Structure 1
Amino acid sequence: MKLFNTKSNQIEDFVPINAPEVSLYLCGPTVYNYAHIGNARPIVVFDLLRRVLETKGYHVKFVSNYTDVDDKIIRKALEEMTTEKEISERYIHAYESVRQALHAEGIYKTPRVTEVMDDIIAFIKELETKGYAYCVEGDVYFRVRNVSNYGTLSHQNLEALQVGARIDENDKKEDPLDFALWKVTDDAGIKWESPWGMGRPGWHTECVVMIYNTFGTRIDIHGGGQDLKFPHHENEAAQAHALHHHDLANLWVHNAMLNIDGEKMSKSFGNVIWAKDFIEKLGSNATRWLLLSTHYRIVLNITDETIQQAQNDIVKFETVLKQAQRTLSLNHIETSLIDEDLNRDFLNALYDDLNVANATVSLYACMKHLNQALRQKDALDAVSKYTNTLRFMLDVLGLEFDVFELTQAQREMYLQWLEAKANRDFETADALRNVLQAEGVL
């Protein structure tokens, strides 16, 4: 298994810390609104990674958090005259519905920031005690320059960062690059008591603490969107180095962003599409397949053409599967064989940094062989083998299709329909065909 490591900027062999267990953490959403289709891309990408790792026999503990403390959540609660908890619960439920619709439910834990507040405060206090953090008028900041390798994850030049930071300089900070760990506040939003006063934590500390609570001080893979690489992930890594002097994750994996007709999706462009609406229109399989259609490290451009292609592909998969399963069901044959060569090539492509495009070559080759076998007489073993192989491939990709089994009555009706056609009894054949179509047999 090979994956591109953002920190080393190259593809590396994946070697788990404690095989066969694999620790995978994905930065989840801040739950103040519905997930848009761009938010759905990491859901699908890292679910695919989980599935692929599991084909190698790994036991993947996949954790993705919810940030349920944020100024945007507070503002929405005040606008709607309700609580932050009610807002976050609403959008957590909506996000879970999207994840379920995208067949990405293999999550081990979904921790929330509000559940680990005591641990966050203790973590910040430890940073302060060891000289990596300092308090000014109740606000606590992290000393970036005390970490010698700051910037190495996101490949940032510290001097360039220094110039940029001075534009928005906070006089409280010792250094413009320092970032907030705790902010005191007397506003109307939710807050907690701490050694520095009532306040809320900084975003960059929350994920580190949730990772530590679940896995310990080092994990195999830390994932997220490309937009989180800096400053969020860089600041996570800096805090981990400060306390434990080693990397937070062995591999940092980031998926690229998503465009709509060549334009970045944003409210200002008026092209934000909610994932739930997209899925409702296209269907779960077509949406997932579209999100996998471009390599995860390349910007995905959604157009009418790419949408149509994804829909067409799903129809092809479903049509050949249904025809094959009908044939096997009519002949009482179970699918137990598998084409080892096609299967090996398919998995090897995915083991190469999730190369779905190359894996699809094997997928379509399997479909071609299956269609050829369906057109031949006495090729039921081949139909069985390629059907089973195709189902396995689609399952790894997270595409779900109903298993089609004929009832005894449907089987008899189907044979009667064939007999009526052979006898040129078109009136009977048409009547039987209409019933078989209504029941989804044809």
Structure 2
Amino acid sequence: MKKSGLILFNTLGRKLETFKPIHKNEVRIYVCGPTVNDVPHLGHARQQIVFDVLRKYLKFIGYKVKFVSNITDIEDKIINKAKELNEDIKTLTARNLKTHLEDYKQIGVEKPDVQPKATEYIKELIDLVKKLEKKDYTYIIENDGVYFDISKFKNYGKLSGQNIKELKSSRIGIKEEKRNKEDFVLWKFSKKDEPSWESPFGSGRPGWHIECSAMSSNILGLPFDIHGGGQDLIFTHHEDEIAQSEAGYGKKFVNYWIHNGMVNVNKIKMSKSLGNFKTIRDLLKDYSGSVIRYFVISTHYRNPIDFSKQALDDAKNSYERLKNIISEIKNDKKINKDYLDKFKEAMNSDLNTSKALSVLWELIRDEKAIGKYETINKIDKVFGLDLLKKEKINIPNEIRELVNKRERARKNKDWKKADELRNEIAKRGWSVNDTPKGYILKRV
């Protein structure tokens, strides 16, 4: 399939750009994975789904994709959570990681090709800090850690558009020993009862930002094609990654920076710290993984999503209508090139999944269209919605009772009663159609 034509919004430069991979037929991607201090919520789900769709679409248009997403298994939040629960850190992170992986699988997210843990890359992390130290980008704050001096990196702020002079002039809330407000820790010196590793700078543990730089660079090489994450990571996490990586390795870090929008509740970002979050596991009690995916891809990835029960209920109803219509489609073994081209046009326009969904709806409603089944099959290789999968429908007891009453009325040739019951069934969101082999019951 033709690869050209994909346009993505590159946060580095803040504009739409035609995607051109470093290697002709291969794309290398790194996406910031979860910090496993707790279980995943809908905000995590959105990021996972967005980059899963990007990965699937790149494969769809013919690229070989190497997809890396890390696990942060040592960080302040993890240490604090373990203390709060009086639990061993390894036990805490293992349990939460298991939940993350299980929940991501439930929402149709493919496991990364490589999924490194920060604690597995301590040597590489230390090596990068040593490179930075040798090039005079670092300084030490006694009894604290090794810090990166942002004033030494001339392009600091290029990703987020921050002005380094303004950052230097603002000293509100700055730690007294820091040279600049936004200087960040590379290596934290060990404290009592906290995990630590030996290093040339002293016993300690890595800072959060250095973890992603060391893992992505060592696994993918520099530069690589795409770095992804949520918009909340642009400043400072991704800004700091660029600074320490390019300063330490002396090469460009990444060509394209892709960031997804936030999930909001009443226009406020969903987050653990605010307590306004919905876990994936809680949502899966009422909605299938496919419904959650449908909900996420119904909005362009860069726009915010406003979460509400009503919004998810609407997505559920829309998804079930879509599945019901598709279940009637016969496979004529053909492909509808016109609709497939429309789908690609939407996806090539900065992964416009909401527009691509509208193309899918247009296809299934087009009575004259050929090749529906196989075209849907191809589209769903990107969406991952299980659109052609036959599923057992859970029929509520009250609907079963109404259907049984209607069958008895039909058997007694009480057509008026049968029609009344059909209407009552329809009012409750179900349709019943009679065939020579019996009735067919569906959600509408």
TM-score, normalised relative to structure 2: 0.84
User: Once the 2 structures are TM-superposed, how far is the Cα of residue 359 of structure 1 from its aligned partner?
Assistant: 1.3
Superposed, which structure 2 residues align to 1:404-419 within 5 Å? 404=390
Count, aligned residues:
402
Q: 1:40 maps to what in 2? A: 45
- 251-260 or 385-394, which moves further after superposition? 385-394
CA contact (8 A) 1:32 1:76 kept: yes
What are the Cα deviations for residues 118-177 of structure 1, in whole angstroms up to 9, with x where unaligned?
11111101110111112333621112111111101110012332244x222223333333
Q: 2:418 maps to what in 1? A: none
2:225 aligned to which of 220, 228, 231: 220
1:6–1:426 CA distance, 2 compared to 1 (3 A): farther
What are the Cα deviations for residues 266-316 of structure 1, in whole angstroms up to 9, with x where unaligned?
457542111121133111111111111111111111234422321122112
User: Once the 2 structures are TM-superposed, how far is the Cα of residue 106 of structure 1 from its aligned partner?
Assistant: 4.6
1:267–1:244 CA distance, 2 compared to 1 (3 A): closer
User: Once the 2 structures are TM-superposed, how far is the Cα of residue 21 of structure 1 from its aligned partner?
Assistant: 1.1
| Unaligned 5+ runs, structure 2 | 1-5, 392-406, 414-433
2:358 maps to a residue whose letter is V
Distance 1:48 1:209 in 2: 26
Cα-Cα RMSD: 2.6
Superposed, which structure 2 residues align to 1:32-181 within 5 Å? 32-137=37-142, 139-164=145-170, 166-181=171-186
Alignment of 1:339 with 2:374, yes or no, is no
Q: Percent identity?
A: 37
User: Once the 2 structures are TM-superposed, how far is the Cα of residue 101 of structure 1 from its aligned partner?
Assistant: 1.0
What are the Cα deviations for residues 64-102 of structure 1, in whole angstroms up to 9, with x where unaligned?
101000122122223333321111111111111121011
What are the Cα deviations for residues 37-88 of structure 1, in whole angstroms up to 9, with x where unaligned?
1111110111111111111100111111010001221222233333211111
Alignment of 1:284 with 2:270, yes or no, is no
User: Once the 2 structures are TM-superposed, how far is the Cα of residue 357 of structure 1 from its aligned partner?
Assistant: 2.4
CA contact (8 A) 1:52 1:351 kept: no
| SS of alignment partner, residue 182 of structure 1 | strand
Alignment of 1:359 with 2:356, yes or no, is yes
Superposed, which structure 2 residues align to 1:180-195 within 5 Å? 180-195=185-200
Distance 2:273 2:184 in 1: 28
1:306 aligned to which of 277, 298, 311: 311
Q: 1:368 maps to what in 2? A: 365
What are the Cα deviations for residues 233-254 of structure 1, in whole angstroms up to 9, with x where unaligned?
0000001221344431100011
What are the Cα deviations for residues 350-408 of structure 1, in whole angstroms up to 9, with x where unaligned?
01100122212321111112xx36xxxxxxxx66x112112222331111145449xxx
Superposed, which structure 2 residues align to 1:194-273 within 5 Å? 194-266=199-271, 270-273=275-278
| Unaligned 5+ runs, structure 1 | 329-333, 374-381, 406-420
2:376 aligned to which of 386, 390, 404: 390
| SS of alignment partner, residue 222 of structure 2 | coil
1:341 maps to a residue whose letter is D
1:361 maps to a residue whose letter is S
| SS of alignment partner, residue 302 of structure 2 | coil
User: Once the 2 structures are TM-superposed, how far is the Cα of residue 426 of structure 1 from its aligned partner?
Assistant: 7.8
1:389 maps to a residue whose letter is T
Distance 1:168 1:28 in 2: 29
| SS of alignment partner, residue 47 of structure 1 | helix
Distance 1:136 1:425 in 2: 87
Distance 1:267 1:68 in 2: 17
CA contact (8 A) 1:217 1:240 kept: no
| SS of alignment partner, residue 167 of structure 1 | coil
TM-score, normalised relative to structure 1: 0.85
Q: 2:427 maps to what in 1? A: none
Distance 1:263 1:76 in 2: 24
1:283–1:15 CA distance, 2 compared to 1 (3 A): same
Distance 2:46 2:388 in 1: 24
CA contact (8 A) 1:338 1:388 kept: yes
- 132-141 or 50-59, which moves further after superposition? 132-141
2:334 maps to a residue whose letter is L
1:6 aligned to which of 3, 11, 14: 11
Distance 2:25 2:208 in 1: 32
Which runs of at least 4 in structure 1 moved beyond 6 Å after TM superposition? 424-427
| SS of alignment partner, residue 258 of structure 2 | strand
1:399–1:83 CA distance, 2 compared to 1 (3 A): same
